[in-house]
Amino acid sequence: MYKEAVKNKIPEQTVKAGDPLNNAGVLEIAQLLWDELRGLSVDRLQLAALEMQRAVDGLVSMVISGVMIAVLLLSAWLGALAAVVLVLIENGVTVSSAILLAVAANLFLTLILFAAIRRKRRFFQFSSTLRSLQPITPERLDAEKSS
């Protein structure tokens, strides 16, 4: 039964080089290849969209978790500051001086963190990416060869 199906699919006539049937066959194959390429492209785009959706879901989950961690750390920091202020008050420091000392310590720590962020900002300029997108000039090619 299977052999008969194969016999029915094999054409009995041969196609010659100048035959119009040959051109029609090539066009049909080209159309099939084009349809296959479009189908593969659509599949790849759908896969990329699904992966992007999954990545966004993960990012949202991470951001929410990060915010919750930040709130918990903030409350722990405020509790630690309150404990330090109470210890200072118990050791004879006035209430206003203890609070001002805690505020000064917070501002000092803020300045240190701000300086750390400022040092890291140069990494967000994408200088290597921008350089790779510029056209290659003869001067730039010579400079890259000498490096």
- Who's near 127: CB < 8 A, 6+ residues apart? none
The per-residue pLDDT string of the chain (147 residues; one tens digit each, 9 = 90 and over) reads 445 544 444 454 454 555 555 667 888 898 889 989 888 888 888 988 899 999 999 999 999 999 999 999 999 999 999 999 999 999 999 999 999 999 999 999 999 999 999 988 877 777 777 777 778 777 777 777 776
Residue 46 CB neighbour total at 10 angstroms: 10
Cα distance between residue 134 and residue 138, in whole Å? 12
DSSP state of 10: S
Q: What predicted TM-score, i.e. pTM, was given to this entire model? A: 0.51
Tokens of 111: 């300045």
